[in-house]
Amino acid sequence: MADDLEINQKEVVDRIQAYMDKHKMTSRELCEKAGIDPATFSRYRTLKYKSLATENYFRIARAMFMSAEELLYGAISTPNVRGIDNDEKGLIRDYRMLDADDKKLVLKVTQRLKEGNVFARIENMTTD
């Protein structure tokens, strides 16, 4: 089981590179967006550093619009629900990236939608 959670640095670097290639982004641009030191990131990418500080993984993942789990392991785990589709997986991934206040807002919107209050104004929801 512990082997399942082992981080493969080369795979993480490959995922980062694939994201940068897809979005035509330089490593400097990613570092600026993530708020991490370009020299540290360069050493990690060239395998001179074996790992990064945990916070840096989270920063890079946020900058790449993915969860840290997706960055580190290549896929997100989803609840053991039969028939979950890619849209639902995307919602789970996006929800996991939100801060606590935004998660509360999403839950309020969802509850209002379930109650049939589809036309409730979002700006009123932030004051509930």
Identify the structural domains of the chain with CATH numbers, from first to last.
Answer: 2-73 (1.10.260.40), 86-125 (no CATH)
Mean pLDDT of 34-52: 90
Tokens matching residue 104: 């509360």
Mean pLDDT of 38-44: 93
Nearest to 70 by CA among 80, 79, 60: 60
Alpha-carbon distance 127 to 97, whole Å? 22
Q: Could you report the per-residue pLDDT of 62-95, keeping only the tens digit for each?
A: 898 888 888 888 866 555 556 677 787 778 777 8
Assessment of whether the complete model's pTM goes beyond 0.75: no
Query: In Å, how far are 32, 56, 89 from 84, measured between CA atoms?
Result: 35, 31, 7
Coil, helix or strand at residue 21: helix
pLDDT of residue 2: 40
Higher pLDDT, 127 or 22: 22
